[in-house]
Amino acid sequence: MIEEEGVIVEIAGENAKVAILRKSACESCAAAGACHPQDANKSFLEAANPLKAVKGQKVVVVLAPQVYLKASIILYGIPMVALVSGAIIAKKLSIHYFGEANSDLWAFLTGMGFMIVSFVFIRMYNTKVEKTQKYKPVIVEILG
Alpha-carbon gap, residue 91 to 111, rounded angstroms: 10
> For domain 2-64+134-143, which CATH number applies: 3.30.450.20, 2.60.120.430, 1.10.10.920, 2.40.50.140?
2.40.50.140
Q: Of 65, 56, 54, 63, which Cα lies nearest the Cα of 140?
A: 63
Half-sphere exposure of residue 84: CA atoms within 13 angstroms, side-chain side: 5
Give per-residue pLDDT as tens, 52-61: 999 999 999 9
| Residues in the chain, pLDDT under 50 | none
Are 59 and 139 in contact, with CB atoms under 8 Å apart?
yes
Q: What is the pTM of this model?
A: 0.67
Q: What was the pLDDT predicted at 85? A: 97
Instruction: Determine the Cα–Cα distance for residues 64 and 66; give it in Å rounded to an integer.
Output: 6
